[in-house]
Amino acid sequence: MGDRLAGQVAIVFGGGGGESGVSNGQAAAMTYAREGAAVAVVDLDPAAARHTTDAVHAEGGTAVALTADVTDGDSVAGAVRRAAEELGPSDILHNNVGATVLGGPVDLDYDQWRRAFAINVDSVFLTCKYVLPAMIERGRGAIVNVSSAAALRHIGYAYPAYMAAKAAVNQVTVSLALTHAAQGIRANSVAPGYIDTPLVRRQLASQADSIDDLLATRNSASPTSRMGTPWDVANACLFLASPEAAYVNAVCLPVDGGLVMSAG
């Protein structure tokens, strides 16, 4: 256990985990807790939130499990309020919720397109709406939004709704960063490339004949010849949330093994 975030409270939306493997959100929550933060783990699935908090408690950390739908303002407001009651106001807001929506304009109906933006972008708006006031009042805070390398370049999947939504996350992050910089609040995003997560395996299973084929394709598409792990993403998020990044603001940090800058 470290102390880089000692005395701080982190609220992680989409922080749940499960038996199928560690998610990006679970890795972030556990990494924050390992560095001394008290963590509010928020997930749509209460069992997933408890899975992560159990893992934190097993390592001697402090965490509470909360449930919220990040596309519903009242639900988000309630989770933020309960987190503050249990742990205190949040010093770190981590937005991990996201979903790929496959298909182009011909394939998708309008509700599916709008759903992609509700999950990936509206969620950031709503969490910031209810977390920012306490940060502004105290004159400090760090926001870390999980974007995607797909916001920066085409990475092989036909999902313009997801690419556009994650690009919007990047620009929302820039606006938050510059709007609130003088108030002691920083906002940055990370853009994971090919990361091996349970969510990826579920949402992109249709893009290959088997899971093994999907993983082999993604491994070979990375400049490193292997996918990254949720811990790789979490460590980047930890840096952006920590005092070491006190002068890092409005940045979109690829965590992709060089994918975004590659010619492939």
Residues carrying an active site annotation: 162
Tokens of 95: 């937005």
**Half-sphere exposure of residue 131: CA atoms within 13 angstroms, side-chain side:** 32
Structure tokens at 91: 């010093």
What whole-number distance in Å separates Cα of residue 138 and Cα of residue 127?
A: 17
**C-alpha dist (Å) from residue 80 to 66, 96, 109, 145:** 9, 15, 33, 17
Give the whole-angstrom CA distance, residue 90 versus residue 137: 12
In sign, the C-alpha dihedral spanning 257, 115, 48, 218 is negative
Q: Cα 208 to chain center, whole Å?
A: 25
d(CA 67, CA 61): 20
Sheet holding 141-146, edge to edge: 63-67, 38-43, 9-13, 92-95, 141-146, 185-192, 252-255
- Euclidean distance between CA atoms 159 and 148, whole angstroms: 12
Joined together, the tokens standing for residue 107 give 């394939």
